[in-house]
Amino acid sequence: MPALREVQAAMRAALLGGNAASIIGLIQANGIAPAARLDVYRANVQTALTSALRLTFPVVERLVGTAFFDAVALRFIETQPPKVAMLACYGDGFADFLAADPAAASLAYLADVARLEWAMHESSEAAEAVPLSVVALAQVLADATDLRFTPHPTLRIVALNHPADVIWEAVCTGDDDMLSALDVHAGPVHLALQRRGESVGIARLAADEWHFLAALMRGEMLSAASAASPERAPIWLAACLTAERFTAVHEDAVRS
């Protein structure tokens, strides 16, 4: 009799489209053939995971159609099964999978649309937090020589080679004229996403402003993030505060 871990590994492989021979012999018929019983479980797993992907990437599905989406989703499920027991966390890596999938090669922008939708999904699922106030920042600025900022939990940034934000909007609004007139190669675009209430807002940033924000989100000091454009950094920082992109500020050093 194999160990429990071996049984679980064999069942996982069979459910995800792998060889089922090692698990069939351990399944009791009980009125249903073991292979048929396994097929029921396999179908349930694949349907649940495909549905999770469909909920997270609705615009990708609309762009390629349900049949294509289901087929590519199944290939993704077989090669990249869930890592945690939480369907809301499933789909990280789907954009990169699309980028490498030969079947999607003619739709170069598709992976960027998926990256945008995953960022929107992460933002929508993130915890809420109180944004940093100008008053709180001013109190720290009085004594600090340099600062680090804590990004808002719902804040996400993506740099894409294609105008995925416009593609997403055109598909969601059903604006066929907007979609047909769109140059899908008009990139790159630099986006900041953040949840406001029940919806996630998308803002386009200039490349240098986006890199400034990215540096602060990585935990770099304000001086380092500002080094490339010190004269514009205060404007960008003010824009971040207005957009409520941070929740806290930390002194890196204090004058004696």
- pTM here is 0.88
| 221 inside domain | yes
Same domain, 161 and 244: yes
Q: Verify that 238 and 144 share a domain, yes or no.
A: yes
Q: Are residues 65 and 134 in the same domain?
A: no
**Among 101, 128, 152, 122, residue whose Cα is nearest residue 57:** 122
Helix (H) or strand (E) holding 131: none
CB atoms within 10 A of CB 240: 23
User: CB–CB of 168/201 below 8 Å?
Assistant: no
Residue 155 sits at φ, ψ, to 5 deg, of -80, 130
pLDDT at 60: 98
Residue 183 lies inside a defined structural domain of this protein: yes
Helix (H) or strand (E) holding 40: helix 34-56
**Looking at the 3D structure of the chain, how many domains does it have?**
2
Is the residue at 117 inside a domain? no
Read off the amino acid at residue 1: M
Q: 103 and 63, same structural domain?
A: yes
Same domain, 136 and 98: no
Q: Token pair of 237, please?
A: 């920082």
Looking at the structure, tell me whether residues 136 and 193 fall in a common domain: yes
Residue 61: give the domain boundaries: 1-107
Q: Can you tell me the mean pLDDT for 53-73?
A: 97
Together in a domain, 129 and 102: no
Greater pLDDT, 145 or 167: 167
168 vs 20, which has greater pLDDT? 168
Residues 131 and 99 in one domain: no
- Domain termination site, one of 75, 107, 139: 107
Q: Among residues of the chain, what percentage have pLDDT more than 90? A: 63
Torsion of CA 207, 209, 210, 216, to 10 degrees: 150
What are 123-154's pLDDT values in tens digits?
999 999 999 998 888 888 766 778 999 999 99
The model's confidence at residue 107, banded by pLDDT at 50, 70 and 90, is: very high
Given this model, what pLDDT does residue 1 score? 63
Name the domain boundary from 78, 107, 136.
107
Reading the block at residue 216, the tokens are 């602060």
Domain-located, residue 114? no
Strand runs (DSSP E) across the chain, as ranges? 144-151, 156-160, 189-196, 199-205, 246-254
Quote the mean pLDDT of the chain.
89
**Residue 84 within any structural domain of the chain:** yes
Question: Is 253 found in the same domain as 175?
Answer: yes
Residue 26 has what pLDDT?
Answer: 63
- My answer on whether 138 and 62 are in the same domain is no
Mean pLDDT of 3-25: 70
Q: Is residue 112 part of a domain?
A: no
Q: Over 50: is that where the pLDDT of 35 sits?
A: yes
pLDDT of 22 higher than 60: yes
